[in-house]
Structure 1
Amino acid sequence: MVVNGAGQVGLWEDIAGRDGRIATLRAFRRNIVYAAPNSALALKRWQDDPAIQAWLIYNIWAIAHPGVAQIVPLEPHDRLYRDCGVGLTMRGTASAAAREFVAFLKGTQGQAIFRHWGWQTAPRE
């Protein structure tokens, strides 16, 4: 099962296609039993359909839902990383609360929250 929404469009293609072989993409595609429009619907399907043997999703979902599935790490050369940036709109720039929120996210407490849920908070070297 894969998720084709909620920021994960193309995730499985990026992983299966890393080796540059179309045959790998085709083989992976043949084994997709459900393409969920979002992660919540994927979770529901996973819980409702015991025939599904694997679910490709970001590790943060397994951290947020302990015991639902076993995390099987990908080999280092197959792992993908996505940025979770934050920015202010022109209206947000004028808002003290919005600026304070962004500062909070960048600060020690905000970074601790991200780490708690499985996000990396410092660039990998």
Structure 2
Amino acid sequence: MPASLPLSRTRAQLFDEMVRDAVELLDHRFTQELSGVEFAVEDVPPALNVYDADVLEDGEVPIARLLPGRAGGSGSVPPRIVLYRRPLELRAVDREDLADLVKDVIVEQVANLLGLDPEDVDPD
């Protein structure tokens, strides 16, 4: 089977594609606001005893994190939204459900970053 077919992609590659698709949808509406924002995927959240308010949790399990970034000279750090793949995969019943969940999480994190309601970021 050719490597370009969807069946030959790993779960991680499919997840990354879902993230890219969700970001592209929002980027059309918020091009300026999202121009410096980094989006990242990690398999699992770091093991911490307590998570800060920047972590989106489902129950007690972190599924995403918003790192707001900081400005200033050579030490500036861009805002970053991190999705945790394995916890999100475990909450989805199928690939379509996972894509919807990824989109919802990204919408919520972008809304938090921009100080908006999620419905204002994605009215769907």
TM-score interval (norm. to shorter) = under 0.3
With normalisation by structure 1, the TM-score equals: 0.24
With normalisation by structure 2, the TM-score equals: 0.24
Larger radius of gyration: 1
